[in-house]
Chains A and B, each alone.
Chain A
Amino acid sequence: MGTLDTGDTAWMLISTALVMFMTPGLALFYGGLVRSKNVLSTIMHSFIMLGIGTIVWVLVGYSLAFGPDKFGLIGDLSMFGLKGVGMAPAEGSTIPEILFMAFQMMFAIITPALITGAFAERMKFSSYAVFMVAWLVLVYSPVAHWVWGGGWIMQLGALDFAGGTVVHINAAVAALVAAIVIGKRKGFGKEAMHPHNLPMTILGAAILWFGWFGFNAGSALAANGLAAIAFVVTHIATAMGALGWILAEKLKTGKPTTLGAASGAVAGLVAITPAAGFVGPIASIAIGFIAGILCYLAVGLKFKLGYDDSLDVVGVHGVGGIVGAILTGVFATVAINEAGANGLLYGGMDLFVKQLIAIGATIGYSFIMSFIILKAIKAVMGLRVSEEEEINGLDLSLHSENGYALGGFSSGTLEHTVAATQTAPSFAVKTAPASE
């Protein structure tokens, strides 16, 4: 048993709440990027992960990721339903184990939510829910175990401070697979599919930036100097990501955009995530700036390669995650964190190779498992809504709601007030009484 530290516990309670806030932030970030007829279904994909992720994590996820190690691959089920996870700190820890569980739970919630950007505007809600449960159990929990829970990547000595591989590369690879297996949106590459509300997207990006201080600085698991340096380098890299992206944009198309600034900030956040507790401020300038530029160049590739990663999960989280994981292997130094290692710049060839192994293993495992899960769901229940539902918009087709009630025409007439009433999905032709 470790000894409880009140300062550490206070900071980790706050960090946990900060990371929780990232998921609704992501909901707004993604929600603004889709067409107005799909704003609610897209927000729902993130928001309801707070429900799905929580129950999966409490029942089995935490045990699979952080339970006693089996073969370096996965935890066992001895902590099913949080059995034995209590107020006392675990060995070597200074915070209640139940708090560590909650902090990790917020990561398990946002990671699958990141994937949803790849299949926005066309996936069936039921299939989405099944995919998320399966992916959390079969992909996220094992990979979290490998990197943080005492598994083989941790034993190998690769560094991932706050989740560059576990969260971002893992989610982005699943996103790529999902975009390919589910297929393009109707009209992709031909029709205009503009973001419908960029102020909402930018507010979402700002909430992500804010919450990420908990994500990265909280990953120190203590209120100490390491948390402070992680906090500062996170902020610097994010700022540089925004600048890098709009500079690249300015040079390539002549105009800096607000969506570019928001996207570059997220790219910077993603890239600094694995490095946050291992690099200094100057390194974080390079990491954020490089990620901003490379992610900008990467998001255009989907049109050339012909897959519809609708909200650029691969371009931002995949490329940003890989850039961050590789640059961790370049810029990491034991001068910042004794528990870390030296990167290429400080003569550490070893670490660089280990980083590449961790990246490759995560990509391979996530790709294969996500593919199998999605193919299985496709065979059993299908993945896509009908063409008519897609055209009418998922908000109305799947949720019987409208994101925006602007103008007086569509207010309609009250029919029933009983929740149990059978609802008619999509534009079902229903002989209605006159509207008066």
Chain B
Amino acid sequence: MKKIEAIIKPFKLDDVKNALSGIGIQGLTVSEVQGFGRQKGHTEVYRGAEYKVDFVPKTKLEILVDDGMVSQVVDTLTEAAKTGKIGDGKIFIYPVDDAIRIRTGERGVDAL
């Protein structure tokens, strides 16, 4: 099992969700996050005072899949989240020891 964590542009979330549903992904977790990479922040102005805001709003997705699905999910995600402009985000892949469905106690891939 692997956990695929992706940081994407917020407005791409619907496209990504639909694309992932299309290849049979049953569930994912989403959070609103802020951060910076190569894409720098923006400027806000209040009564003439200019503020540089460094952290850019992003959306973080976490998806758990069986090892065999990883490359398909990564390809689909990359294609759906890409705009070609700076700030499209990143994908990280981690090994996962185990997963448990709380309701039934199922473990491993069965719990996904």
Binding site for B on A (CB under 8 A): 187, 190-191, 391, 396, 400-402, 409-419, 421, 423-424, 426-432, 435
Contacts and interface: CB of A to CB of B under 8 A. Distances in A.
B53 to A, nearest CB: 4
Contact of A428 (B43, B48, B53): B43
Contact of B50 (A191, A410, A423, A429): A423
B44 interface: yes
A412 B42 CA distance: 9
A412 B48 contact: no
Contacts of A415: 43, 50-52
B52 A418 contact: no
A430 B53 contact: no
Given A400-B43, A431-B40, A414 B50 contact: yes
Nearest to A391: B11
A421 B50 contact: yes
A38 to B, nearest CB: 13
Given A400-B45, A410-B55, A413-B51, 4 more contacts: A190-B14, A400-B43, A414-B49, A432-B41
Contacts, number: 73
A417 B55 contact: no
Interface string B50-64: 111111100000000
Contact of A424 (B43, B46, B54, B86): B43
B40 A417 contact: no
Given A401-B46, A429-B86, A412 B52 contact: yes
6 closest A-B pairs (Cβ-Cβ)? A419-B48, A412-B53, A412-B51, A400-B45, A416-B50, A435-B54
A374 to B, nearest CB: 27
B39 interface: yes
B50 A417 contact: yes
Contacts of A187: 14
Contact of A418 (B14, B41, B48, B53): B48
Given A401-B45, A401-B46, A432 B51 contact: no
Contacts of B48: 417-419, 421
A411 to B, nearest CB: 8
Contact of A426 (B42, B46, B49, B56): B42
A401 B44 contact: yes
Measured as residues with beta carbon below 8 angstroms from the partner, the interface class of chain B is: 20 to 34
Contact of A191 (B14, B44, B52, B56): B14
B72 interface: no
Which of B47, B49, B86 has most chain A Cβ within 10 Å?
Answer: B49
A210 B11 CA distance: 39
B21 interface: no
Nearest to A435: B54
B44 to A, nearest CB: 5
A410 B53 contact: yes
Contacts of B45: 400-401, 423
Contact of B42 (A391, A413, A417, A424): A424
A409 B55 contact: yes
A414 B51 contact: yes
A415 B46 CA distance: 12
A414 B54 CA distance: 11
A400 to B, nearest CB: 4
Contacts of B41: 412, 427, 432
Nearest to B14: A191
A419 B46 CA distance: 9
B18 to A, nearest CB: 10
A191 B47 CA distance: 34
